[in-house]
Amino acid sequence: MSSQSAQPAAKMRHRIRLRKMSDLATKVCAFIPLMLIVLYIFIVFMSTLTRVQREFLFLHRLRIPTWKKFHSPEYYGLAPFKTRNFKLETPDGETLGTWHVLPQGVYVEQEPFPPRERLPDTIFDDAFGQRPTIIYFHGNAATRAQPHRVRGYMEMSGRLNCNVVAVDYRGFADSSGKPSQEGVIIDARTTYDWVAKKIKTAGADPATNIILCGHSLGTGVTSALAERLAAEGTFPRAIILIAPFSSVIDLVDSFYLFGFFPVFHPLKAVPRIKEYIRSSWADPFESKHSLLTTSSPMLLLHTLNDGVIPSTHSETLFNVMLNRSGAQNKPHVEETNYEGWGTLKVAYPNGLPLIKWEGKHGGHNDLGWAEGTFDLMAWVADL
């Protein structure tokens, strides 16, 4: 066969290959929407399973920092021998890794200074009678040694001169067990009872010396604990909620996968399925209901650029607390805008301060140790 006759045949085979590839691409493109629909249905179905829900809600397997030096808090940036590491035992048999950071005023009185060896427990126990205590409940994932959390302890113990007790829930860090809503509430109550006992032994009043502080997931834990304490007629000195949510169910409704895809928004077209999804959540953490029975000064901190929990959740909680006395008794709200910093709302329902700060910057994790927000903490807790 001559080269001239071979060229048309080669071109024909090339065109046939191109046509086949084009047909295949067309079929694949037609199949992609179906694949996306199947994937979406799979994600929605998986979200109804309690085990899957808890993996994503708590993220307790993500143990950052990965190194385990909880027995040496100095390794994570805390001052030498300012913090004691110990374990709390819950009524249902779990053990919780815990830190107690001394107030700065107590710490600097030690001789020699800085301390050269571990301080005796009596120093830490006596400190509960000298300064108020902030019980800190952290968010999901990681541990009590996460850098932004440690920075918060530093400011609370230093700038606010308070005891700080930070606990890792069951299943987190060096704590035993697996987390659930009821489980972490038991952990919170165990921590509160331990602190209250220490304060009472030190000769002070637990009710006026304990401040509850939660961040992110920890705001749900804090709110649930406050509700149970309120049922017993106990009200903390103050409640501080950093980047809170009104409820996990509300948060799921507003959840964006990878920051741009609203996973559950399409279900608005099928209300029954959407309601089924909402009712399937095993750990709803309904803070907007839990806080209704509390009677403590309250501070809500949030930022407009929070990429995890929209700041509208804090606005919801603020309005819930503002309106619980009824529309006729709704207190006056003083709103002040601070250029470059944020907006402050202050009201006094039932004579107690209700403060909400909506910052312009700080994201989800950084507002918990910012200088201006600690001034607000000192205000609401009268420190």
* Distance between CA atoms of residues 316 and 180, nearest Å: 25
Amino acid type, 95: T
Would you say 150 and 158 are in contact if contact means Cβ atoms under 8 Å apart? no
24 or 313, higher pLDDT: 313
User: Within 10 Å of residue 254's Cβ, how many Cβ atoms?
Assistant: 16
257 or 31, higher pLDDT: 31
* Distance between CA atoms of residues 160 and 155, nearest Å: 7
pLDDT greater than 60 at residue 68 = yes
Q: What is the pLDDT of residue 56?
A: 86
| Cα pseudo-dihedral 267, 273, 275, 280, rounded to 10 | -110
Mean pLDDT (the chain, rounded): 88
pTM for the structure as a whole: 0.89
Q: What is the pLDDT of residue 271?
A: 73
* Distance between CA atoms of residues 267 and 31, nearest Å: 22
pLDDT greater than 50 at residue 1 = no
What is the rounded average pLDDT of the residues 223-229? 98
pLDDT greater than 80 at residue 21 = no
pLDDT digit string (tens) for 100-110? 999 999 999 99
pLDDT digit string (tens) for 147-158? 999 999 999 999
Residue 7 banded pLDDT, cuts 50, 70, 90? low
**Of the candidates 202, 294, 274, 217, the residue with the CA atom closest to the CA atom of residue 248:** 217
Q: What is the CATH architecture of 62-380?
A: 3-Layer(aba) Sandwich (3.40)
Residue 58 banded pLDDT, cuts 50, 70, 90? very high
Q: What is the pLDDT of residue 350?
A: 86
What is the rounded average pLDDT of the residues 113-130? 96
* Distance between CA atoms of residues 102 and 132, nearest Å: 11
pLDDT greater than 80 at residue 264 = no
* Distance between CA atoms of residues 44 and 302, nearest Å: 29
- Provide the residue ranges of all domains of the chain, joining segments of one domain with +: 3-46, 62-380
